Amino acid sequence: MKNRVHGLRKQRKLTQEQLGEIIGVSRQTINAIEKEKFDPSLPTAFKMAKLFQLPIEEFFFFEEDK
């Protein structure tokens, strides 16, 4: 799944550590999400949506496996 978490985090001048603290995951998890190595759970995605004040589909883009 593609996402633009990195850009949104930078816009809000947050470090990975700070974003992780706010939504309750580790810095490494934020890094893995930004690098698109790991897709977060629905509760984590909703927490991000609340923080970024955007609907989930505005920053997570589902792609069917080819």
15 near other proteins, judged by CB under 8 A? no
- Complex with other proteins: residue 31 or 54, whichever CB lies closer: 31
7 near other proteins, judged by CB under 8 A? no
Own/partner pairs, 25-34, CB within 8 angstroms, 24+ separation: 30/5, 33/3, 33/5, 34/3, 34/5, 34/6, 34/9
- Residue indicated by tokens 């550590």: 17
Which parts of 27-46 interact with other proteins (CB under 8 A)? 28-29, 31-32, 37-38, 40-41, 44
18 near other proteins, judged by CB under 8 A? no
